[in-house]
Amino acid sequence: MTERIGSANYTAGPEALLSDSVIVTQVEKAIGWARKYSIFPYPFATACCAMEFMSLSMAPYDIDRFGAALPRFTPRQADLLIVIGTVTIRQAPILRRVYDQMAEPKWVMSFGACASSGGFYDNYTTLPGIDRVIPVDVYVPGCPPRPEAVLDGLMMLQKKMQNERQRAFRREVVEPDLI
């Protein structure tokens, strides 16, 4: 029973007993909440940005606080592909295969200028952005990005995970245009 006194609501009876121990929500929201705090990243690290990625595990940044501390080096156990560094045209099919081997739901972070656009490499060997071969959920700018920027990108991604419709198959697979 809820009584209204002045501008406040006061709960009495069984509701008062349960109010501290029961949470009512929607299944989609609960799944989103669980997913965003249990991220298993797969670091596809190829170049100097990887040093910056390592610093995320150190005490000043402590990516563990976001539930994303344990890197997995098999795509079967990962749900966040973090592409870190320059990707060459020859590596593109490998990146695509790693992405395809990850189970749904899965997300992709493009870490740094090289992964996002090829960076300052304007030549025939460098992939001008990983979104030519796999879909990207969040781009983190910088050469290399500051760890704070990566955490910012991670929080944006967590917001996306929370608000996404939790369906078995997330999206149409984009066919790569370079491989």
* Cβ at position 111, least distance to ligand SF4 in Å: 8
Q: Is 114 in the site for ligand SF4 (CB under 6 A)?
A: yes
Q: Is 85 in the site for ligand SF4 (CB under 6 A)?
A: yes
Q: Are 151 and 66 in contact (CB under 8 A)?
A: yes
Q: Is 144 in the site for ligand SF4 (CB under 6 A)?
A: yes
Q: Kindly tell me which of 107 and 111 has the beta carbon lying closer to ligand SF4.
A: 111
Spatial neighbors of 137 by CB under 8 A, at least 6 apart, are 107, 108, 109, 157, 160
Cα 157 to the center of its chain, rounded Å? 5
Among the residue ranges 28-36, 45-53, 56-64, 100-108, the one whose residues contact ligand SF4 (CB under 6 A): 45-53
Q: Is 126 in the site for ligand SF4 (CB under 6 A)?
A: no
Q: Which residues of 33-71 are buried (b: 16+ CB within 10 A; e: fewer)?
A: eebbeebbbbbbbbeebbebbeebeeeebebeebbbeeb
Q: Is 129 in the site for ligand SF4 (CB under 6 A)?
A: no
Q: Is 47 in the site for ligand SF4 (CB under 6 A)?
A: yes
Residues that bind ligand SF4 (CB under 6 A): 47-49, 85-86, 112-114, 119, 143-144
